[in-house]
Structure 1
C-alpha cells in the first residue's frame, strides 16, 4: 500500500493536523499529530490509528506498523528532533 494512501486515510478518518508516513508495505512508520490525541492514553491513540487502517491490515496490504502519536502541543515540544 502506498504511503500517500495511508496518509490520506488517516487524515480523513482522524482529522489530523499533520502526519508523516514512511517505509514500505512490510513495515510502515507513522507519526500522527492531531487534537484527537489530546488527553488520550497511548493505547487508545494506537487503537484509533489501527482501527482506521484495519481493513488494509486484514487484507494484508500492510504488514507491520510503528505508530507515534502526539497532540499538537506535544508535537511542538518533539518536532525539533524529527526530520522527515
Structure 2
C-alpha cells in the first residue's frame, strides 16, 4: 500500500480527523488529530484507528501500524504540529 491509500481509507471511515501517514509497503506510522480523541482513552483512540483499517490488516496489506492520536490542542503544543 501507499501512504495515500492508507490516508484515503482512514478519511473514508473517520470524519473530522486530520491524518499524517508515513511508511511504505505494509508498515506505516499513523498520526491522527481530532477533537474526538479528547473523550477517549489512548487505547480506545487507537482501537478506533485500527478498526478503520481492519480489512487491510486482516488481508495482510498492512502488517505493522504504529498509531499516535492527539487532540488539536495537543497537536498544536507539539512544536506547532511539527513532530
Normalising TM by the smaller chain, what interval?
Answer: 0.7 to 0.9
CA distances 1:50-83 after superposition (whole Å, capped 9, x unpaired): 0000000000000101101111111111143625
Please name the residue that 2:58 is paired with.
58
**Displaced runs of 4 or more, over 2 A:** 79-83
TM-score normalised according to structure 1 size? 0.87
* In 1, Cα distance between equivalents of 2:15 and 2:81: 24
Matched, 1:76 2:76: yes
* In 2, Cα distance between equivalents of 1:69 and 1:79: 16
The RMSD of aligned alpha carbons is 1.6
CA distances 1:33-62 after superposition (whole Å, capped 9, x unpaired): 112212210000110000000000000000
Structure 2: runs of 5+ lacking an equivalent = none
Structure 1: runs of 5+ lacking an equivalent = none
| Structure-2 change in CA distance of 1:23 and 1:33 (3 Å) | same
**Structure 1 stretch displaced more, 56-65 or 34-43:** 34-43
* In 1, Cα distance between equivalents of 2:6 and 2:63: 13
